[in-house]
Amino acid sequence: MNIDKLLQSVRNVPDFPVPGIQFKDVTTLFKNPEILKELSDGLYDMYKDKGITKVVGIESRGFIMGPLLAEHLHAGFIPVRKPGKLPAETYEVSYDKEYGKDTIQIHCDALDETDVVLLHDDLLATGGTMVAAVELIKKFRPKKIYVNFLIELEELKGRAAFDPEIEVTAILKYAI
């Protein structure tokens, strides 16, 4: 995977969503078919030998690469969504964010103890959403859980929020 090419493809948007934030826009990774293929193939190479049976994508940008990766891995894709978006019975977890509380849900029949799960999202900042997603996934007692991000903002130390038995990877890392 050509990390320099990927890093050059991420757009930096100053003062979004609030002044002082340097937003890392991953949509620029997806619009170029060559970059998208580089990213997709690189993610596949990272996980092809892990026995992944389900890729779980976090709303909403986890819904972009998650299904592509699931297809490459011959795995199923499972969405984790905000309340009221999933039609069947769900488990949910609420968690604190920098600006309030949030909740995420997953269908109660989405996974089981035979699954090897890869949780995927676009960005690791403080880790709150993904830590809550891991808590949801643990309700199913899968064989193994892996966590992946496209980007990690290392200075925010979000990686420290995860249990040590969870393998956390990020493709692109920024010191901020």
Record the tokens describing residue 56, joined without a space. Answer: 């779980």
Domain ranges, ordered by start, for the chain: 52-174
Instruction: Output the six-digit token pair for 78.
Output: 């499972």
pLDDT band at 96; cut points 50, 70, 90: confident
Let me know if 165 is a catalytic residue. no
Q: Which of 61, 71, 92, 159 is catalytic?
A: 61
pLDDT at 2: 92
Q: Give the pLDDT confidence of 131-149 residue by residue, as tens digits.
A: 999 999 999 999 999 999 9
91 Cα distance to chain centroid = 19
User: What's the whole-model pTM score?
Assistant: 0.94
DSSP letter assigned to residue 56? E
Cis peptide before 9 (omega within 30 of 0): no
Q: State yes or no: is 98 an active-site residue.
A: yes
CATH architecture of 52-174: 3-Layer(aba) Sandwich (3.40)
